[in-house]
Amino acid sequence: MELHVVHLERKIRDLLENLGFEIYPFKVGWYNEVLPPTLRLRYSDDTLAFVVLSIPAMFDKAFKPFLKKQLLKKIHDPVDQCISYYLSLVRESLADQNMDIMYDYEILPNRKPKFLAQTAAHVAGAAYLYQRKDVHQDSWGEKKIYGVCIHPSYGGWFAIRALLLFPDIKDDIPWLCSMKNCCSVLPVCLEITFFQLIL
């Protein structure tokens, strides 16, 4: 099973990496473990998933070529349609796999997102999700403070686009390790300054 997963990850990377996308594997259980039951994914905890990010290179390598191909077609949400197009190519290439795709813009009937993108990126190790609880010297009192994801290479210049879920791949994958003990990408002394800048 492990070799199969390594091959699958390599195949997805080969399809997306040169287009300005990054993928990071994780187990659904890592995501579900940090969220209340109402926000959990409805997959077993050992299900393999990948979070898909777009990085700055995506604009030139995927988005502009996509727009050029669509000259005579109606485009409503160009970035979303671009992401959907390239992930549909991944689906076609992996036709032998049972794969579900969740996009960052999809919502449930109760108006909640299908998945919490920043949480998925964090547990997969794609980016660090800074939350109020991470700041050691909280000086905001009752003020509402939202979290923010920071990529180790691109800072805030990236986007979390989708999840690829493989419901039939449920096995112990030893080379995958949870990021719940991951270190922050900012030194502790800069965390307060960072949060003050984004308020």
* Structural domain range at position 109: 1-184
| Three-state secondary-structure class, residue 162 | strand
State yes or no: pLDDT of 15 exceeds 70: yes
In a domain, 53, yes or no: yes
Arithmetic mean of pLDDT, 21-41: 95
In a domain, 197, yes or no: no
In a domain, 193, yes or no: no
Q: What is the DSSP letter of 126?
A: S
In a domain, 195, yes or no: no
Domain count, the chain: 1
What is residue 147's predicted lDDT score, i.e. its pLDDT?
Answer: 82
In a domain, 152, yes or no: yes
- For the record, the structure tokens of 162 come out as 């989708």
In a domain, 29, yes or no: yes
In a domain, 198, yes or no: no
State yes or no: pLDDT of 188 exceeds 50: no
What is residue 130's predicted lDDT score, i.e. its pLDDT?
Answer: 85
Q: Report which of 75, 76, 94, 77 is spatially closest to residue 16, judged by C-alpha positions.
A: 94
Q: What is the average pLDDT score of the chain?
A: 86
What is residue 193's predicted lDDT score, i.e. its pLDDT?
Answer: 52
103-155: pLDDT as tens digits: 999 999 999 999 999 999 999 999 999 887 777 777 777 888 788 899 999 99
In a domain, 65, yes or no: yes
User: pLDDT grade, residue 159 (50/70/90)?
Assistant: very high
Q: What is the DSSP letter of 131?
A: -
What is residue 157's predicted lDDT score, i.e. its pLDDT?
Answer: 95
Long-range pairs for 194-199 at CB < 8 Å and ≥24 separation? 194/130, 195/130, 195/135, 195/145, 198/148, 199/145
